[in-house]
Amino acid sequence: MSASGLVGGLKRGLDAPICLTWELTYACNLQCVHCLSSSGVRDPRELTTAEAKALIDELERMQVFYINIGGGEPMVRRDFFELIAYAIDHHVGVKFSTNGTFIDRAAARRLASMDYLDVQISIDGIDAPTNDAVRGQGSYAAARRAMDHLQNAGFGPFKISIVVTRHNVDQLDDFKALANSYGAQLRVTRLRPSGRGAESWHVLHPTADQQRQVYRWLLANGEDVLTGDSFFHLNALGEPLPGLNMCGAGRVVCLIDPIGEVYACPFVLHDQFRAGSVRDNGGFASVWRESELFVSLREPQSAGACASCGSYDACQGGCMAAKFFVGLPLDGPDPECVHGHGEELLASVDAARRPSAGPGHTKPVTLLRARPTAVTR
């Protein structure tokens, strides 16, 4: 079977996902402006430890080889270590994504002692000013402390994960050097207008020139750098980037949120892309295999407005989530279409008609207590 035959097979869906993201909690100590799950406060309906273990049992039966754990900040959960140990003991490898705040010396040693565990620390700038503008004050220092602890504990090659924005696109070489200095692997992914990103995307996403810069950089460094296949819309620029070049939503990937809701991918936490719940009768397996949404995503998709474009085979119309949250039709160009077709359309979208940002768990704004002011002097 040829590679394109393989992609055809993958698009028709699999018995179990290849890449499953499980957000363990909506609680987070940070409030990143681009958080795709609008995390902040814990949801009282979160899966219990027993429910989480039952889900891991089911993933083991389905032969899901590994899961990507995220949040929120997954280490906030009190049963975090219990759950990852349980998964690994049940042949479900764990890759987890963290802001690093809770990786102190003891936690780093504990993580280093576990097999089949990958850790990914997020930063979005090579220095505190660039990073903290997006992720919050002190977050850069916290992430670097975590990296130091992992290195000192002999964890081995952890991952450093960057979301590309217009403010850090010039730092890609520096990120690579930082990763190399730790013996770490660099992961670079695309900014999506999901969650709180629905607002911040419009001012943070790379400009058209910067997109070409990212493409050239990935072509030069791609084999060495993980991307989660997130830049396939750039393939319209020429030589394809490494990866499967397809949208995996509901076909090879999906998301389980902290309360057990199953969505088509980590970037579409919205009712329209909700396939069911692991708490439903048939459990996760029946949501994955039989839900109306996932079955429909595995049907051949229409190229729509992109059908007449010579690049459609290369870019596949781009990212469904990116289109959805900026209010573009799903069967048209990506907002970051390299030919500029998305930008043109975007200008005509009424901002008020964009979809809601999905289930929000953003912390309520804390009003500073008003200080009594001196009235007279």
Residues that bind another protein (CB under 8 A): 1, 5-6, 9-10, 12, 14-16, 18, 63, 65-66, 91, 93, 116, 118
Closest CB 355 distance from another protein, rounded Å: 33
d(CA 94, CA 87): 7
Closest CB 35 distance from another protein, rounded Å: 27
291 sits in the region (left: phi over 0; alpha: psi -120 to 50; else beta) called beta
Closest CB 1 distance from another protein, rounded Å: 4
51 sits in the region (left: phi over 0; alpha: psi -120 to 50; else beta) called alpha
The secondary element (H helix, E strand) that includes residue 83 is helix 80-89
Report which residue type is found at 330.
L
Closest C-alpha among 73, 77, 56, 74 to residue 65: 56
Nearest residue (CB) to another protein, 64 versus 121: 64
d(CA 157, CA 182): 8
Nearest residue (CB) to another protein, 18 versus 305: 18
Nearest residue (CB) to another protein, 63 versus 296: 63
Closest CB 15 distance from another protein, rounded Å: 6
Question: Exposed, middle or buried, 7 (CB in 10 Å: 0-12/13-18/19+)?
Answer: middle
| Interacting residues of 20 by C-beta distance below 8 A, sequence separation 6+ | 59, 64, 67, 68, 253, 254, 255, 256
Closest CB 63 distance from another protein, rounded Å: 4
Q: Which residue has the tokens 């949801």?
A: 43
Nearest residue (CB) to another protein, 89 versus 127: 89
Nearest residue (CB) to another protein, 6 versus 295: 6
Nearest residue (CB) to another protein, 93 versus 240: 93
Closest CB 324 distance from another protein, rounded Å: 28
Nearest residue (CB) to another protein, 65 versus 81: 65
159: helix, coil or strand?
A: strand
Closest CB 123 distance from another protein, rounded Å: 22
